Amino acid sequence: MTTQTATPSLSFRGGTLGALTPLTLLVLGLIYLSVFERAGTKPFWACAWVAMGVGLFLCRQRTAYCDSLLKGMGNSTATAIIALWLLAGVFGKLMAAGGLIDGLMWLGAAVGAEGAAFTLLAFAMAMVFALGTGTSTGTVIGLSPVLYPAGVLLGADPSMLAVAILSGAAFGDNLSPVSDTTIVSSYTQGAEIADVIRTRLPLALSAAAISMLIFLLFGASGEASASAVEVPSGHASGLVMLIPLAAVVFFALKRRHIVEAMFIGNLVAMLCALAIGAIGLGDLFSLPEARGESTGLIENGIASVTGAVLFALMVLALTQVILDTGLMEKLLDGARKRLVKDRASAETSIVAVTIAASTPLSANAPALLLVGPGLVRSLAQQFGISPARAANLMDCAVCTVFFLLPWHIVVAVWQEVIASTAVQNEVAAPSAFASFLTPYPWAMLVVLAVSILLRRRKQGTTEVAAV
């Protein structure tokens, strides 16, 4: 992928400070919007536009600057992200319209779990839904109004039940092949999604296992309602929508091109939804009654990701400018001399810089776009870290602290949905600080630390054996 340049081709007024000004303005703008709860891919457009314009007038070679912007927008990383996001947007809409929630509700009713068992079930259901749709925000919006009140009445601890749903959303965001973080982390590192999924699975499942243990131990309140409580019954046919997810994973792991795998997943999702009667052909595509109205699920799915696509293009353009100034090489040389001495410290640095980038921002994919193409990829190449490993370190890191802090989009939406659901159903609300107790992000931090430590020991053993 053409994300690096051999020799610096751009210089800025103000030297290094001037070169960093566009990216600094972008980050400050994103933080500003996040703090005032106006974050979103469309509001982010303006920040990126301002940053690009300021960079144009600070750069001494304006024609070369424009060429650099276009190179960033047109490289293979950008085109891959666009293609996959468009397909993932349609896939998520099809999975939801096909009744995946109904299928999960039916499964919950059939199991008849109570107390801690219900908390564990809620976690598992959120995991599956997030895996299938690739959206953590959609998961908490779709499942919380149904699972939360039923679970509290069935004796689940309110805070643990709430964070179980959020943990499941984090798991899906971390591992789903149609998640924006999976797509961005893979393609900014030049990694095959098949390799990424296969090698990330042990990390994600380890964090999930730790979370499950916590939910089993602390998931019950001991105060089940005496009144008869039923989990909404749903419909078993919705479980058919797990087939498209299995198809995407199967073809991806078979090393078929990920675009092909995603297209097949889209088609299988359409056929499954049509077969069970969840949608009709007109729901997929039809001429609207009036100009400007939706033509169906395909349009809605594409429209749902266009904001992210355009923002990604602008961020990749600004990243290419930084690469073409030669600043990334200087930064890495300085880090290598002072901080990064070996592969283990390089892996630790990748995790740390990803967490640092995601902490102030309200969306995690932009954080990966900021650090992935330049800093993380260069560190990985210099210290022999495989593309899949670098992508996993980034994606796992961005699914840790990000799911704890209340100013991030998914956490803010989760808090609002849970609070309003508790009021509407007259059940106990979770603690105001519940998000900081979410087990999956903490478990993933532990898993990452252990993974880096084990690799350091393995490398040390190999070096001793070689001597």
Distant-in-sequence contacts of 419-425, Cβ < 8 A, 24+ apart: 421/144, 421/145, 421/148, 421/149, 422/148, 422/149, 422/152, 422/158, 424/149, 425/148, 425/149
User: Distance between alpha carbon 22 and the CA centroid of its chain, in Å?
Assistant: 25
Burial string for 74-101 (b: 16+ CB within 10 Å, else e) reads ebebbebbbbbbbbbbbbbbbbbbbbbb
pLDDT in tens, the chain (467 residues): 444 444 457 889 988 888 889 888 887 887 787 677 666 667 778 888 999 999 999 999 999 999 999 988 887 767 777 887 788 788 888 988 888 878 877 877 777 778 899 999 999 989 998 888 888 888 888 788 878 888 888 889 999 999 999 999 999 999 998 888 999 999 899 999 889 999 999 999 999 999 999 999 999 876 655 454 555 666 888 889 889 888 887 887 777 777 888 899 899 999 999 999 999 998 998 887 777 778 888 998 888 878 878 887 887 888 788 778 877 667 666 666 666 778 888 999 999 989 988 887 667 888 888 888 878 998 898 889 999 999 999 999 999 999 998 777 788 788 878 888 888 778 888 887 888 999 999 999 999 999 999 987 776 655 444 43
Given a contact cutoff of 8 angstroms between Cβ atoms, the answer to whether 171 and 133 are in contact is no
Rg (CA), the chain: 23
Q: What is the C-alpha to C-alpha distance for residues 207 and 175, in angstroms, rounded to an integer? A: 12
Q: Which residues contact 183 (CB under 8 A, 6 or more apart)?
A: 80, 81, 84, 85, 88, 193
Q: What's the confidence (pLDDT) of residue 362?
A: 64
- DSSP lists the bridge partners of residue 220 as 156
Q: What's the confidence (pLDDT) of residue 452?
A: 94
Q: What's the confidence (pLDDT) of residue 217?
A: 94
Q: How many CB atoms within 10 Å of residue 35?
A: 12
Minimal CA–CA distance to 58: which of 24, 32, 27?
Answer: 24
Q: What's the confidence (pLDDT) of residue 224?
A: 58
Q: What's the confidence (pLDDT) of residue 466?
A: 42
Query: How far, CA to CA in Å, does 148 sit from each of 111, 132, 214?
Result: 16, 20, 18
Given a contact cutoff of 8 angstroms between Cβ atoms, the answer to whether 344 and 456 are in contact is yes
Q: What is the C-alpha to C-alpha distance for residues 430 and 148, in angstroms, rounded to an integer? A: 10
Q: What's the confidence (pLDDT) of residue 398?
A: 94
State pLDDT tens for residues 433-465: 888 999 999 999 999 999 999 987 776 655 444
- DSSP lists the bridge partners of residue 12 as 59
Minimal CA–CA distance to 192: which of 93, 260, 95, 90?
Answer: 260
Q: Which two tokens stand for residue 143?
A: 């499942």
* pTM for the predicted model, two decimal places: 0.75
Q: Which residues contact 395 (CB under 8 A, 6 or more apart)?
A: 174, 181, 182, 185, 196, 200, 368
Q: Which two tokens stand for residue 384?
A: 């022999």
Around 152, how many Cα atoms within 13 Å sit in the side-chain half-sphere? 21
Q: What are phi and psi of 12, to 5 degrees?
A: -125, 150
Q: How many CB atoms within 10 Å of residue 256?
A: 14
Q: What's the confidence (pLDDT) of residue 5?
A: 42
Minimal CA–CA distance to 44: which of 27, 57, 56, 58?
Answer: 27
Given a contact cutoff of 8 angstroms between Cβ atoms, the answer to whether 181 and 364 are in contact is yes
Q: How many CB atoms within 10 Å of residue 26?
A: 24
Q: What's the confidence (pLDDT) of residue 171?
A: 96
Q: What's the confidence (pLDDT) of residue 1?
A: 40
Q: To 10 degrees, what angle do helices 297-325 and 62-74 make?
A: 140
Given a contact cutoff of 8 angstroms between Cβ atoms, the answer to whether 282 and 265 are in contact is no
Given a contact cutoff of 8 angstroms between Cβ atoms, the answer to whether 224 and 114 are in contact is yes
**How big is the chain, counted in residues?**
467
